[in-house]
Amino acid sequence: MKFHVLTFGCQMNAADSGWLGRSLEGLGWEQVPAGEAQVYVVNTCSVRDKPEQKVYSLLGRLSEHLERDPSIFCAVGGCVAQQVGTKLWNRFPFVRLVFGTDGVSQAPAALARLAREPKLRLSLLDFTEDYLERDPALPGKAASPTAFVNIMQGCDNFCAYCIVPHVRGRQKSRASAAVLQECFALAGSGVREVTLLGQNVNSYGLDAGGDGVLFPQLLRAVAAIPGIERIRFTTSHPKDLAEEVIEAFGDLPNLCPSLHLPVQSGSDAVLRRMGRKYTVDQYLKKVEGLRRARPDISLSTDFIVGFPGETEADFKATLDLMRQVRFEGSFSFLYSDRPGVASVKMEPKVPDEIKSWRLAELQALQNAQQEAMLESLAGTTAKVLVEGPGFRRGSEEPAWRGRDEAGRVVNFAGPAEPDLTGRIVSVRITQAKKHSLWGEGAS
Ligand code: SAH
Ligand code: SF4
Ligand code: F3S
């Protein structure tokens, strides 16, 4: 069967889709460009209203396409599927499989069955008690020098605005031996950089599925695997970022100097209503510790703008925090009511127009800060892990693309041969672009 996977949402969804694709290929299915597929798999995100609506408009567009050939069908998985369930069938009859976030592991077998039995429809929506181990379905040779490795599923934090615990279920840690085994296998297949993934990786091992290994130990064990030259992890809840992990930035040479540490707001009053369980001061202390351990650490964050009750003074405090920490990058989102979360009932809601103004102001400040920080890197030398061929607008010159240790995208000129993919090379940074760097390699 020819299939095509479309993915919305976070890195966890990207990792799940990657696995699903490899697993279907293992069954003899073929991944093809959109338009040529007999089966479409849509992996969805429900974190805000916008990505949820995107799923419906995509399915609407697919339906026109599928009407022409009734043998084509669709599977919808991930967080919207978990949230809406089999109601999707009423609206979109060509959806023959609905699989939730714990149902991913059984999706390939279900798809194979649906291909054999054209009248069948299936749903996989139950949450499981434990982390379901999957066959990693790794190819002999890695397709990319970087890989994501799941270390947990779900979240127990129930931040007031967040649907994730509702659609990903309770936190379930994966067995440490399984994590290490997958990292060993990845290193053996040519992967040089792994990113440990979970909604709240710092509380790894602290749920019923924990096997005694906590996050700091897991991090050290992965970092010690021969061939793993870079390690990253995401996402970290500030309240759970342990002192030992902060210190690891100072003494684990292959732990990359970058951290995504979502703060959400610079106002203590808003943080309290969000149920984040830290104050701005406590957050700043963690930042201080991180910078002490690794002065060149690049910090990024998430902000929610217009949380219910956010005043002009609360928002100003967020701007102040952005300046004070000098985040190199941030994702900022308009607050969005999600079904079933606590903040739906919180008042007053901030009017859309005010939210949009605040978002624009925050993003303008972020962009200015990022540009200044990237510009300050001109003239320095970066160690770039090459991910593949790169490009420079308006230039025919051969180029390569990769990331420096802090995760910044670097494009650099260099001969097309030999293939540098998977190598770490020294690149002299010559120019800062808006969101990336340009340089000259390589040695
Ligand atoms: N587990 C991660 C992030 C999960 S969702 C963490 O704890 O930080 C990614 C981001 O989406 C969040 O950090 C938050 O900024 C944003 N987000 C979540 N729910 C939202 C909502 N209802 N409205 C707007 N943004 C939201
Ligand atoms: Fe959502 Fe909070 Fe869990 Fe992150 S920690 S996934 S924001 S509930
Ligand atoms: Fe979205 Fe689900 Fe990730 S809601 S952000 S895809 S956990």
pLDDT of residue 225: 97
Pocket flag, ligand 2, residue 164 (CB < 6 Å): yes
The residue whose CA has the least distance to atom 1 of ligand 3 is 45
Domain span(s) for CATH 3.40.50.12160 in the chain: 2-124
| CATH architecture of the domain with residue range 2-124 | 3-Layer(aba) Sandwich (3.40)
DSSP letter assigned to residue 128 = P
Q: In the CATH hierarchy, which top-level class contains the domain 381-440?
A: mainly beta
pLDDT of residue 443: 57
C-alpha to C-alpha distance for 179 and 176, rounded to whole angstroms: 5
Q: In the CATH hierarchy, which top-level class contains the domain 140-256?
A: alpha beta
C-alpha to C-alpha distance for 228 and 184, rounded to whole angstroms: 8
- Distance from residue 20's CA to the centre of ligand 3 (Å): 16
- Distance from residue 333's CA to the centre of ligand 2 (Å): 14
Which atom, in ligand 2's list, is nearest to the CA of 47?
1
- Distance from residue 9's CA to the centre of ligand 3 (Å): 5
- Looking at the CA of 161, name the nearest ligand: 1
For residue 165, the one-letter residue type is P
- Distance from residue 45's CA to the centre of ligand 3 (Å): 5
Q: Residue 333 is inside which H or E element, if any?
A: strand 329-334
For residue 230, the one-letter residue type is R
Per-residue pLDDT reduced to its tens digit, 265-302: 999 999 999 999 999 999 999 999 999 999 999 999 99
Query: Could you tell me the two tokens for 367?
Result: 């962009």
Highest mean pLDDT (candidates 35-39, 159-163, 205-209): 159-163
**Long-range contacts made by residues 414-420, C-beta under 8 angstroms, separation at least 24?**
414/440, 414/441, 414/442, 416/389, 420/386
**∠ CA(417), CA(419), CA(423), 5° rounding?**
130
Which atom, in ligand 1's list, is nearest to the CA of 157?
7
Check whether 346 has a pLDDT greater than 80. Answer: yes
- Taking residue 129's Cβ as centre, other Cβ atoms within 10 Å add up to 12
The residue whose CA has the least distance to atom 2 of ligand 2 is 159
How many Cα neighbours within 13 Å face the side chain of 150? 27
Nearest to 77 by CA among 61, 100, 58: 100
The pLDDT-based confidence of 233 (bands split at 50, 70, 90) is very high
- Distance from residue 357's CA to the centre of ligand 1 (Å): 20
Nearest to 114 by CA among 105, 123, 103: 123
Enumerate residues lining ligand 3, CB below 6 A. 9-10, 12-13, 45-47, 78-79, 164, 167-168
Please give the average per-residue pLDDT across 198-202, as a whole number. Answer: 97
Rounded to the nearest integer, the mean pLDDT of the chain is 95
Q: List all residues 6 or more positions away from 245 whose beta carbon is below 8 Å from its beta carbon.
A: 202, 215, 216, 219
Pocket flag, ligand 2, residue 48 (CB < 6 Å): no
C-alpha to C-alpha distance for 141 and 369, rounded to whole angstroms: 40
Pocket flag, ligand 2, residue 82 (CB < 6 Å): no
C-alpha to C-alpha distance for 427 and 206, rounded to whole angstroms: 41
C-alpha to C-alpha distance for 252 and 367, rounded to whole angstroms: 31
What 3-state DSSP class applies to 402?
strand
Give pTM, 2 decimals.
Answer: 0.96
Q: 386 near 421, Cβ under 8 Å? A: yes
Question: Which residue would you say has higher pLDDT here, 138 or 215?
Answer: 215
The pLDDT-based confidence of 41 (bands split at 50, 70, 90) is very high
pLDDT of residue 58: 96
C-alpha to C-alpha distance for 11 and 42, rounded to whole angstroms: 15
| CATH architecture of the domain with residue range 258-376 | 2-Layer Sandwich (3.30)
- Distance from residue 177's CA to the centre of ligand 1 (Å): 30
Nearest to 172 by CA among 123, 125, 80, 102: 102
Q: List all residues 6 or more positions away from 368 whose beta carbon is below 8 Å from its beta carbon.
A: none
Per-residue pLDDT reduced to its tens digit, 128-182: 999 988 888 887 788 899 999 999 999 999 999 999 999 999 999 999 999 999 9
Domain span(s) for CATH 2.40.50 in the chain: 381-440
Q: 77 near 40, Cβ under 8 Å? A: no
Pick from 8, 47, 305 the residue to mutate for probing ligand 1's pocket: most ligand atoms within 8 Å of its CB: 47
Pick from 83, 104, 166, 168 the residue to mutate for probing ligand 3's pocket: most ligand atoms within 8 Å of its CB: 168
Pocket flag, ligand 2, residue 146 (CB < 6 Å): no
What 3-state DSSP class applies to 185?
helix
Please give the average per-residue pLDDT across 329-351, as a whole number. Answer: 98
Question: Which residue would you say has higher pLDDT here, 71 or 380?
Answer: 380
Q: List all residues 6 or more positions away from 67 whose beta carbon is below 8 Å from its beta carbon.
A: none
Pocket flag, ligand 2, residue 163 (CB < 6 Å): no
pLDDT of residue 442: 55
C-alpha to C-alpha distance for 84 and 166, rounded to whole angstroms: 12
The pLDDT-based confidence of 84 (bands split at 50, 70, 90) is very high
Please give the average per-residue pLDDT across 322-332, as a whole number. Answer: 97
What are residue 304's DSSP bridge partners? Answer: 333
Q: 392 near 433, Cβ under 8 Å? A: no
pLDDT of residue 35: 87
pLDDT of residue 15: 94
Pocket flag, ligand 2, residue 170 (CB < 6 Å): no
Per-residue pLDDT reduced to its tens digit, 49-70: 999 999 999 999 998 878 778 8
